[in-house]
A and B are shown apart, each in its own frame.
Chain A
Amino acid sequence: AQKVTQAQTEISVVEKEDVTLDCVYETRDTTYYLFWYKQPPSGELVFLIRRNSFDEQNEISGRYSWNFQKSTSSFNFTITASQVVDSAVYFCALTESYNTDKLIFGTGTRLQVFP
Chain B
Amino acid sequence: DSGVTQTPKHLITATGQRVTLRCSPRSGDLSVYWYQQSLDQGLQFLIQYYNGEERAKGNILERFSAQQFPDLHSELNLSSLELGDSALYFCASSPSQRLAGNEQFFGPGTRLTVL
Cβ-neighbour of A105 out of B42, B99, B101 (below 8 A) = B42
Chain A interface residue bracket vs B:
20 to 34
In contact, B106 and A101 (Cβ under 8 angstroms): no
In contact, A95 and B100 (Cβ under 8 angstroms): yes
Q: Take A101-B33, A102-B45, A102-B58 as given contacts and tell me if A33 and B108 are in contact as well, using a CB distance cutoff of 8 Å.
A: no
In contact, A44 and B56 (Cβ under 8 angstroms): no
Question: Across the interface, which residues of B come within 8 angstroms of A43, CB to CB?
Answer: 88, 108-109, 111
Cα–Cα distance between A96 and B100 once the two chains are bound (Å): 10
Cα–Cα distance between A33 and B100 once the two chains are bound (Å): 8
In contact, A101 and B109 (Cβ under 8 angstroms): no
- Chain A CB within 8 A of B83 CB: no
Cβ-neighbour of B96 out of A32, A45, A101 (below 8 A) = A101
CB distance from A95 to the nearest CB of B (A): 5
The chain A residue sitting closest to B111, CB to CB, is: A43
Question: Across the interface, which residues of B come within 8 angstroms of A105, CB to CB?
Answer: 42-44
Cα–Cα distance between A5 and B66 once the two chains are bound (Å): 30
Other A-B pairs beyond A47-B104, A100-B100, A101-B33, 17, CB < 8 Å: A42-B108, A43-B88, A43-B111, A44-B107, A47-B105, A47-B106, A93-B43, A95-B101, A99-B99, A101-B56, A101-B100, A101-B101, A102-B45, A102-B58, A103-B35, A103-B43, A105-B42
Write 22 A-B pairs (CB below 8 A) sorted by A numbering: A33-B100, A35-B103, A42-B108, A43-B88, A43-B108, A43-B109, A43-B111, A44-B108, A46-B106, A47-B103, A47-B106, A99-B99, A101-B31, A101-B48, A101-B56, A101-B94, A101-B104, A102-B45, A102-B56, A104-B45, A107-B42, A108-B42
* A-B residue pairs, 9 tightest by C-beta: A33-B101, A45-B106, A105-B43, A44-B108, A102-B45, A99-B100, A102-B56, A95-B101, A101-B102
